A and B are shown apart, each in its own frame.
Chain A
Amino acid sequence: MPLLSKIPNELYSLLRTRFPADADKAELIFACRTDLAPDGRIQESMLLVTRRHLAVATLSDGQWSLTHSLPLVDITGLNVEPLVGASALMAKVDGREIRLLRYSHAVAQDMSDAVESLLHLIGPDGSPDHTEPVIEDPVPDWSSREAHLRTFRRLWAFCLPHWRTLVIAMAVTIVASAIDLLPPYLTMILVDQVLVDMSTYMYLPLIVALLAVSRIVHTGVTVVSGRMLAVLGDRLAFDARSELLNVLQLLPLKYYDMQQTGGLMARIARDAKSIHYFWIDFAPQVIQQGLLVIGMTAVLFYLNWELAFLVLIPIPAIIFASIHIKRYLMWFYGRSWDSWATFFERVNDALAGIRVVKIFAQEKRQSRDMHLENEKVFTAERNIHVRSRTVRPLLAFIVSVGGLLVWWYGGRQVQSAEMTIGMLMAFFLYLSMFYNPVQQLTSMADWIPEMMTAITRTFEVIDSPIEDYTPGETVDVPRFEGRLELQDVNFGYVAHQPVLKGINLHVEPGEMIGLVGHSGAGKSTLIKLMCRFYDVDGGGILIDGIDVRRMDLMQLRSQIGYVEQDPFLFSGSVTDNIRFGNREASREEIIEAAINANAHEFIVKLPDGYDTPVGERGGRLSGGERQRVAIARAILHDPRILILDEPTSALDLETEKKIQEALGRLMEGRTTLAIAHRLSTLRDADRLLVLKNGEPVELGTHEELLNRQGEYYRLVQLHTNVSSIVGVEG
């Protein structure tokens, strides 16, 4: 999101008068829009930072005023205080806490980013004079109204590689429109000049042949342009989907933390298709129908301008009626969709819960409820059909008014020999072609917002910033030794709400470290930092003495193995899943890995052995089986550093033993960080790091820590009271 929001001119001049000293430094470093006034009213406010000052401005009765203004050097701290349903930004000045502003959750992320950037500038150490404005590359804001133009430009950029096809298809479309205008004109010649005189009868076959040719050419041209545009549209939709799919793989994990998978699926499937609709249905239709209207208007005026005026009379009424009828009906369509949705939801519920219904003997009530929904569907559908059967003939009537006017006025002109019968006929033929494009163009206007929204949403994803795979200067580390150092690691998902504080740890190659702590202690977060799903806010993570941020992301991750608590398997065969991290692996290697993971035996007992499809998310395998396939996958991946999140759920003893054995083999010779839940793992670990509220509290072996009788001792006590097998909940 842009840290530099647009600010109103009025506010800009207010700032200039208030901080003239800043004026020569010329600018606002950033402005962040919030949605609550300091007193809690829902009111636009702004956090503004110039080179030397921080200010808060609020809009009150249409007037901007500054509610706070503080020199940056005086601010010794900034922090976000979570409230209920909102947050507050607090500044520390002379040891006092000052409440700067409040904001709702809607702008929380923007504000967190703003505060993070601000920290560089405040206090006596802040260096605003030689700090470049801290502005992230703004991600285009596709949702704004100005974005429509940008969307069009992006659409065009998408089409650019295929411009030749597009130009030819459009040219062919124009030719088709021009040919469309020909038959009525030929008819006029036929009636006025050929059929009136015996001597000109010989031209009849010629005119008919011309008519036939024009129809044939028109058909051919329409087929050609239709096919070209269809291929082009499908190609563009394919391109859009491909770009989306590429980007989706490269987006950072935090993007997914904020999105629902379903929404993304819809974008891939449906929204990308809207680019196809734009080029296939929308653009050619607008051009063709538009040209037809223009062309016919010109021809009508050329033939008889007075009559042409009469033809135009019903046009405003047709446009007006088309728009209103559509909107009027759309409302009823909306009600119908709603009622169908509720109906399906209800029926689905009733069928899925049929056992509960029967046990509670509620069949009759369920039937009654469903019947009520059915009645609502009936009413909604009836409303649509009755109304559309009423309004459409009315529209047809308005259209026919044009015909009546032409009959009346044209007929009189024919009677007075001011116009020929042929011309009158041509007028009628044009008339029948004229109102249809007008109606179509009008109804297209309604598509635009819907289509543009879908197209915009597609670009929104495509243009999201992807992960930084190769930072400026990368250090090449083809194979880690496995020495791991955490140096004063600090991290928070939301700025200034640290989840990890001051973590220091030195791990030798091949050592196994168990991470222990209550739920929310920061164990999983530490693991995410190790995989560089997120970057540390302070300190650093070093592998073999090199900061992970200086490594090529692919190279780093290819040497880290991760066995999740509830491993995710992809739909595909067992083989596909085991060799996920190493596509080149031979069958022998796959089998070896499975044997080492204690998975081979259960796999070969499956009817299709290694070829068995595991189902969506591995659903056809049991929890213990999934675990072992995931361990085999990690073994084959052969990472130098292993990250392990032990499952908390209890499995039967036999499976448990097999998994423990498999993990033991997997950890051999690898530096391992394990979130440990089981006593056996805790005992086997070389050292244990105990975390509490994001801070390291103890480090040592199982025995050492037990003897110390501190936090670890308490956790183990708690755990042995709860269960003798499953370890400390994490």
Chain B
Amino acid sequence: MSFLDPAAIRLERREEQPPTLSIAGDLFFNVKIRQAFPLSFESRYITFFDQEDEYLGIVADPEACDEDTCRIIRDEIEWRYFRPRIERVLEMEGRGGTSIFSVETDRGAVKIPMRDLREGMMELSPGRILITDEHGNRYEIPDLDRLDRRSRRLIRRLI
């Protein structure tokens, strides 16, 4: 069986420490949690690695785990994957070959410098845009249609 049974796993965590995973009674400390499809299917297919970064297993539907485990998975994913969601595009200016977007995200206002717009903007699915700035930071527009008109116009010009 390649997938772990959600009922057989349990995550625990003490304060700010990495969580401990028990798989059918076996304990693994300081586990790392990663998504198998971080861009196309975030809510499912969660993988676990031990502290040596050795692969432990994958669970297809984390929602089927107990509530605490589920919450810890969500927190860990939130902790590992930093990808602010853009809520508003304030303005765009060009400065010597670099385009700078001033945006408001769910994690605060930020300026996104981009060298190569073609490389840096990727439409993951219609209306869902992933932006990678020149430092490699990533931002996401989950649904372009839900941005205000001005923001939409600024982004549409580029994709």
Using a CB–CB distance below 8 Å, which chain A residues touch chain B? 573, 575, 587-588, 591-592, 595, 600-601, 603-605, 607-611
Contact = CB atoms under 8 A, between A and B. Distances in A.
A611 B40 contact: yes
B40 A591 contact: no
Contacts, number: 47
A611 B47 contact: no
Interface in B15-55: 34-41, 44-45, 47, 49, 53, 55
Nearest to A593: B2
B141 interface: no
B2 A610 contact: no
A170 to B, nearest CB: 36
B39 A608 contact: yes
Given A587-B45, A588-B3, A591-B45, A610 B37 contact: yes
B106 to A, nearest CB: 20
20 contacts: A573-B40, A575-B37, A587-B36, A587-B37, A587-B44, A591-B3, A595-B2, A600-B55, A601-B55, A605-B34, A607-B38, A608-B39, A609-B34, A609-B36, A609-B47, A610-B37, A610-B40, A610-B45, A611-B38, A611-B39
A610 B60 contact: no
Given A604-B47, A604-B55, A605-B53, A591 B2 contact: yes
Nearest to B46: A604
Interface in B99-154: none
B58 interface: yes
B82 to A, nearest CB: 11
Contacts of A603: 36
Contacts of B58: 591, 600, 604
Contact of A609 (B37, B49, B55): B37
A611 B36 CA distance: 8
B37 A611 contact: yes
A591 B2 CA distance: 8
B39 A604 contact: no
B37 A592 contact: no
B interface secondary structure, majority = loop
A573 B38 CA distance: 12
A609 B35 contact: yes
Task: List the 10 closest A-B pairs by CB distance, nearest first.
Answer: A611-B39, A601-B55, A604-B47, A609-B36, A595-B2, A610-B37, A611-B40, A604-B36, A610-B36, A592-B2
A77 B30 CA distance: 78
A603 B58 CA distance: 12
A605 B32 CA distance: 10
Interface of B: 2-3, 34-41, 44-45, 47, 49, 53, 55, 58, 60
A601 B60 CA distance: 15
Nearest to A592: B2
A575 B40 CA distance: 10
Contacts of B45: 587, 591, 610
- Of the candidates B36, B38, B40, B60, the one having the most CB atoms from chain A within 10 angstroms of its own CB is B36
B64 to A, nearest CB: 14
B39 to A, nearest CB: 4
A604 B36 CA distance: 5
Contacts of B47: 604, 609
A608 B55 CA distance: 16
Contacts of B49: 605
Given A591-B3, A605-B49, 11 more contacts: A587-B36, A587-B45, A587-B60, A588-B3, A600-B55, A604-B55, A605-B53, A608-B38, A609-B36, A609-B38, A611-B37
Nearest to B39: A611
A201 B34 CA distance: 89
B60 A588 contact: yes
B129 to A, nearest CB: 14
A668 to B, nearest CB: 16
A603 B36 CA distance: 8
A573 B53 CA distance: 23
Nearest to B49: A605
B13 to A, nearest CB: 21
Contacts of A609: 34-38, 47
Contacts of B55: 600-601, 604
Contacts of B53: 605
B3 A604 contact: no
Contact of B34 (A573, A592, A604): A604
A588 B58 CA distance: 10
A608 B136 CA distance: 13
B45 to A, nearest CB: 6
B36 A591 contact: yes
A577 to B, nearest CB: 14
A45 B45 CA distance: 70
Nearest to B81: A607
Contacts of A611: 37-40
A591 B3 CA distance: 9
A591 B35 CA distance: 12
Nearest to B45: A587
A76 B60 CA distance: 70
A600 B2 CA distance: 10
A168 B131 CA distance: 46
Nearest to A596: B2
Nearest to A601: B55
A237 B41 CA distance: 38
A663 to B, nearest CB: 18
- Of the candidates B38, B44, B53, the one having the most CB atoms from chain A within 10 angstroms of its own CB is B38
B144 to A, nearest CB: 19
B4 to A, nearest CB: 12
Contacts of B44: 587
B149 to A, nearest CB: 28
Contacts of B36: 587, 591, 603-604, 609-610
B104 to A, nearest CB: 25
B41 to A, nearest CB: 7
Contacts of B3: 588, 591
B78 to A, nearest CB: 16
A655 to B, nearest CB: 16
A202 B37 CA distance: 81
A600 to B, nearest CB: 7
A587 B42 CA distance: 12
Nearest to A603: B36
A607 B132 CA distance: 13
A608 B45 CA distance: 13
Contacts of B35: 609
A479 to B, nearest CB: 25
Contacts of A607: 38
Contacts of A575: 37, 40
Nearest to A595: B2
Given A604-B34, A609-B35, A587 B41 contact: yes
- Of the candidates B37, B41, B44, B49, the one having the most CB atoms from chain A within 10 angstroms of its own CB is B37
Contacts of A592: 2
A575 B45 CA distance: 13
A665 to B, nearest CB: 12
A605 B39 CA distance: 14
A601 B53 CA distance: 10
